[in-house]
């Protein structure tokens, strides 16, 4: 007998599992399909984010930073730490335990909210029927009132550097190194490349990042990007811009990478090479030919602003649709779609999705950059405040970077908040909350911020927008 559900979600990543839970909470009979399994053969819920992305990488970033601090940063505090060593397998084991706890937590949430987990590969057929193929090859058909496609993404492969998950690895393989490579290459100076490169550089690897673009972090505000490049270079990351990889050869557990840059043809030998040039949607065998859902040539599913596809009652969210490939974007889309299926008029503000790079210092931003606004012809006032002038940052010996607030010159409405420095992600989120309610720089400046906090840097940057900063000299308005 065919099972029938109000909602069937394909994919249990941060978009899919959140959508499934929300739909169930709204009283809809819900099933979620997931095919991936862990090493024990159990369903690995949580998608890329929990299993091989956001969470495990942050675990390694945290561990490696603690090692770096013990090795390099304790002396100034009067703490002597001799013969500090790193047990890489133990670090990797800690990461694995965190992943196991969180993925198990999603399974518990499914049970608590009444979500039915269907293990296997989900494929959308015509008339909102979904075929589920288990690991044993057996299939079943389920019927849905509504379907949410949330199959996620995977790393992009490039022909010049084929991944073998041994010497040449993708972001997944880079989370499993059992020792610190002496010389590590990273192709791609994006979020993933910088974060993973930072992990192993802190532990002693000589890291070279090869970036094909001539501009560093083009999505970030230029002032923030320049500060970041200067900081990472000082930390020992060798970032080579305009470096296009043309080929590679693995021999005797090393890889020789050929590339071209402004100086011509180059080559360099690494012990390990991480390919981190972006991600692509996982839509292979997701849609039957007669499903009616439209995709573009790159595999992205066409949707409207509410994530509805070309087929009524079928939605797509997260990395398989337009926009940034971010877990929090996927989660909020999942909630929006579940609420719309339940009959609510939910929507999402795509203009205020924060972006974060969890290096040290952290880099985060929300809203538009100064360059974007100038291109659009919007006159702006800008205020910045350096962490070097923050008492809390000084106390923590973490004074690199700044907070930047951009406001409309005519209305004073905040249009962008950009941070490089300690707790950048948290400070930008404060800015995002204010911007969601149309805050002005004056509004932020009038709020009482506790002292001493890093948040005071946001307060001072907002004051500086109109030349009212207290703890730095104000720039004269032109």
Residue 451 falls in the annotated catalytic set:
yes
Summarize pLDDT for 18-38 with one digit per residue, the tens.
Answer: 999 999 999 999 999 999 998
Q: Is residue 185 part of a domain?
A: yes
Catalytic residue among 71, 344, 360, 451: 451
| CATH code (residue 382) | 3.30.390.30
Q: Give yes or no for residue 316 having a pLDDT over 90.
A: yes
**Whole-structure pTM value:** 0.96
For residue 42, what pLDDT is reported?
82
Residue 52 dihedral angles phi and psi, to the nearest 5°: -140, 25
User: Is the pLDDT assigned to residue 478 strictly greater than 60?
Assistant: no
* 29 and 178 together in one domain: no
Task: Tell me the Cα Rg of the chain.
Answer: 24
Instruction: Judge if 237 and 252 occupy the same domain.
Output: yes
Closest by CA position to 116, among listed 260, 5, 266:
5
Summarize pLDDT for 357-398 with one digit per residue, the tens: 999 999 999 999 999 999 999 999 999 999 999 999 999 999
Q: Residue 163: inside a domain, yes or no?
A: no
The verdict on residue 458 lying in a domain is: yes
On whether residue 161 sits in a domain, the answer given is no
Q: Are residues 345 and 230 in the same domain?
A: no
Q: What percent of the chain has pLDDT over 90?
A: 97
Q: Do residues 22 and 146 both lie within one domain?
A: yes
Question: Average pLDDT, stretch 224-238?
Answer: 98
Above 80 in pLDDT, residue 1? no
Domain boundary among 297, 326, 350: 350
| pLDDT > 70? residue 477 | no
Mean predicted confidence (pLDDT) in 260-271: 97
Answer yes or no: do 209 and 241 share one domain: yes
Please report which confidence band the pLDDT of residue 475 belongs to, taking 50, 70 and 90 as the band edges. confident
Over pLDDT 70: what percentage of the chain? 99
Q: Is the confidence at residue 298, as pLDDT, over 70? A: yes
Residue 30 lies in a domain: yes
The number of folded domains in the chain is: 3
Position 94 in a domain: yes
**What pLDDT does 26 receive?**
98
- Same domain? For 115 and 242 the reply is no
Cα–Cα distance, 472 to 460 (Å, whole number): 8
Would you state the pLDDT for residue 300?
98
Mean pLDDT of 184-190: 98
CATH number of the CATH domain containing 76: 3.50.50.60
Query: What is the distance between the alpha carbons of residues 275 and 298, in angstroms, rounded to a whole number?
Result: 19
Whether 287 and 150 map to the same domain: the answer is yes
One domain for residues 312 and 455? no
380-386 β-sheet, strand order: 355-357, 362-367, 414-421, 402-408, 380-386
Mean pLDDT of 440-453: 98
pLDDT in tens, 100-138: 999 999 999 999 999 999 999 999 999 999 999 999 999
Going by pLDDT thresholds of 50, 70 and 90, the confidence category of residue 196 is very high
* Confidence band for 234, pLDDT divided at 50, 70 and 90: very high
Whether residue 78 is found in the same domain as residue 174? no
- The chain-wide mean pLDDT, for the chain, equals 97
**pLDDT for 358:** 98
Assigned domain for 203 exists:
yes
Q: Which of 277, 300, 328 is the last residue of a domain?
A: 277
Whether 211 is in a domain gets the answer yes
pLDDT class for 2, splitting at 50, 70, 90?
confident
* Same domain (yes/no): 265, 286: no
User: Looking at residue 150, what is its pLDDT?
Assistant: 98
316 and 459 inside one domain: no
Do 34 and 127 fall within a single domain?
Answer: yes
**Residue numbers of the domain that contains 24:** 3-155+280-350
């Amino acid at each position: 007998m065919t099972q029938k559900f109000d909602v069937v979600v394909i994919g249990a990543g941060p978009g899919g599992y959140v959508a499934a839970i929300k739909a169930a909470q709204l009283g809809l009979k819900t099933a979620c399909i997931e095919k991936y399994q862990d090493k024990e053969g159990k369903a690995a819920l949580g998608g890329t984010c929990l299993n091989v992305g956001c969470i495990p990488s942050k675990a390694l970033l945290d561990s490696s930073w603690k090692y770096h601090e013990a090795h390099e940063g304790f002396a100034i505090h009067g703490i002597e730490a001799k013969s500090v060593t790193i047990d890489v397998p133990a670090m990797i084991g800690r990461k694995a335990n965190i992943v196991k706890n969180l993925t198990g937590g999603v399974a518990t949430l499914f049970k608590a909210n009444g979500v039915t987990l269907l293990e296997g590969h989900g494929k959308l057929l015509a008339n909102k029927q979904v075929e589920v193929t288990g690991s044993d090859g057996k299939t079943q058909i389920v019927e849905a009132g509504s379907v949410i496609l949330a199959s996620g993404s995977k790393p992009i492969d490039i022909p010049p550097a084929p991944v073998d998950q041994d010497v040449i690895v993708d972001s997944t393989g880079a989370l499993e190194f059992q020792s610190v490579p002496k010389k590590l290459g990273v192709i791609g100076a994006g979020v993933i490349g910088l974060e993973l490169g930072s992990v192993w550089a802190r532990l002693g690897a000589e890291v070279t990042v090869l970036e094909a673009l001539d501009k560093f972090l083009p999505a970030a505000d230029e002032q923030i990007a320049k500060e970041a490049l200067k900081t990472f270079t000082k930390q020992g990351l060798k970032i080579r811009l305009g470096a296009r990889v043309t080929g590679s050869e693995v021999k005797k557990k090393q890889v020789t990478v050929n590339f071209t840059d402004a100086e011509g043809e180059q080559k360099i030998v690494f012990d390990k090479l991480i390919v981190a040039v972006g991600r692509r949607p996982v839509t292979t065998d997701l849609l039957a030919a007669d499903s009616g859902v439209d995709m573009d040539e790159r595999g992205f599913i066409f949707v409207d602003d509410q994530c509805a596809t070309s087929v009524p009652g079928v939605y797509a969210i997260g990395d398989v649709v337009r926009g940034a490939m971010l877990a929090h974007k996927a989660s909020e889309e999942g909630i929006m779609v579940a609420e719309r299926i339940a009959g609510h008029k939910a929507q999402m503000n795509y203009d205020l999705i924060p972006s974060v790079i969890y290096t040290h210092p952290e880099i985060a931003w929300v809203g538009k950059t100064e360059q974007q606004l100038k291109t659009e012809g919007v006159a702006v006032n800008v205020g910045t405040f350096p962490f070097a002038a923050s008492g809390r940052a000084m106390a923590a010996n973490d004074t690199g970077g700044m907070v930047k607030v951009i406001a409309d010159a005519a209305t004073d409405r905040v249009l962008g908040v950009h941070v490089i420095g300690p707790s950048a992600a948290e400070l930008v989120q404060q800015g995002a909350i204010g911007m969601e309610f149309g805050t002005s720089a004056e509004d932020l400046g009038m709020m009482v911020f506790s002292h001493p906090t890093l948040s005071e840097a946001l307060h001072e940057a907002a004051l500086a927008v109109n030349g009212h900063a207290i703890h730095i000299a104000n720039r004269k308005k032109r």
